[in-house]
Copies of this chain bind each other. A is one copy, B any other.
Amino acid sequence: MKATPVKGTNDYLPKEVRIRDYLQEVILKTYQEGGFERITTPILEDMENLDKSDGGENLGLIFKILKRGDKLTKALDQNQYDQLSDIGLRYDLTLPLSRYYANNRAKLVLPFKCIQMDRVYRAERPQKGRLREFMQCDIDIVGTSSPDAEVELIHTTTKALMALGLKDFTVKINDRRILRGILSGAGFQEDEQDSVCIVFDKLDKIGAEGVAKELLEKGFDKEPVDNLIKLLDKEEITLDTVETLCGDNPGIANLRYIMDAVEKISSGAYQVVYEMSLVRGQGYYTGTVFEVEAKGFRGAIAGGGRYDNLIGKFTKEDIPAVGFSIGFERLFGILMEQDYQIPEEKKRVALLYGSGEFLDAMSMADKLRNDYQVALFEKPKKVGKYLDKLKEQGYAYFYIMNQSEKLNALD
């Protein structure tokens, strides 16, 4: 039997879990204090829902659950190999939330401000260092088109990041409607814009030349591609630059309102900048998109956007919504690199007992537990070596039944 975990998944050691739990607790508390309420949705999701969710490249990364019994036999007998699965593992928390809202709307009040902190699954290539099972921490506001929702999400998410001691980060923001305006201006047809966006999203990684090359390879006309690349040559592209290019675009006023409000409310604790090339991978975003980047680390630690059409796929009437998600594994990675320490943890005591002393040790432990976190261990023959190991595990004190007079520091 294989002792290693499934490719792309992790076992976490006790000291890692202590930190992961603490970080999640701080994020959850910040979200809750911000007036958001936690919900939970299943990890299993209807395969048809996932397929139709406009999830962009994630749709190719879905783990599918094999049908069982007669249903499986039937699919195999009839060679219906696209019918081997009707349930999948969710690739994000936004599609389940959209379904959840549709399913429970009679019991919810709009705007619905909710939290999801949970696992999602993507069959990424583990070679790239990407996990296939990972945590996301999302807040969403369902049922309002007001840009105040974006402001509240940015305020609350950055508050959580700061509560974890993260400094030096930047919120980047864009609006898909502006992006479409630019692409229209460059000469791309409306039905081409989605696939252009997916390539454009790689600008950070492959540069302007790389984007041009890939677009031409995909068969787009040279003229709009050239126009787009010419634009990228400009040193800095501001909302003003864009306004002269696209004219009157609802995305511009939207971003100005949000950036202005966030600037006021952040009191300079972090920067909010417009980034014309920000796309975000998901297909379901309709307006604002944003992400958080930490100084010195590539890639985003949080990302989100407005998805005004997704819930309507379930409810048949459009319900506007916007969400912001912390990529927990990336945040955890960054903080671990910075040797993160949990503030004010209860000190840990190892209580050693010999033969026949177990029940007394249990009583003693219960007393000490008011002030310490106490674990019981049978006294081994070589106590010295054992104490060294306990120290490695993070114990601060030890006490040997009927031998120690007080708690002894492990050092």
Interface residues of A (CB under 8 A from B): 1-6, 9-14, 17-18, 20-21, 32-46, 48-49, 52, 63-66, 68, 76, 81, 84-85, 87, 89, 99-100, 102-104, 107-109, 111, 113-114, 119, 121, 123, 132-133, 144, 146, 148, 151-152, 155, 261, 264-265, 313-315, 351, 358-359, 362, 365, 369, 373-378, 386, 389-390, 392-393
Contact = CB atoms under 8 A, between A and B. Distances in A.
Contacts of A89: 65
Given A3-B315, A34-B369, 6 more contacts: A1-B52, A3-B102, A35-B376, A64-B66, A65-B89, A109-B392
Given A44-B133, A114-B14, A35 B374 contact: yes
A29 B343 CA distance: 17
B4 A103 contact: yes
A391 to B, nearest CB: 10
A386 B369 CA distance: 47
Residue in A34, A123, A261, A389 whose Cβ sees the most chain B Cβ within 10 Å: A34
B123 A68 contact: yes
A112 to B, nearest CB: 9
Contacts of A2: 46, 48-49, 99, 314
A6 B264 contact: no
Contacts of A103: 3-5, 11
A171 to B, nearest CB: 16
Contacts of A264: 359
A375 B65 CA distance: 39
B314 A3 contact: yes
Given A14-B39, A107-B13, A6 B87 contact: yes
B144 A378 contact: yes
A392 B10 CA distance: 41
10 contacts: A3-B315, A6-B42, A9-B42, A11-B40, A11-B41, A13-B39, A66-B66, A109-B393, A151-B362, A152-B362
A224 to B, nearest CB: 34
Contact of A148 (B63, B65, B358): B358
Contact of A21 (B4, B14, B38, B108): B38
Contacts of A65: 63-66, 89
A35 B113 contact: no
Contact of A9 (B18, B32, B44, B392): B44
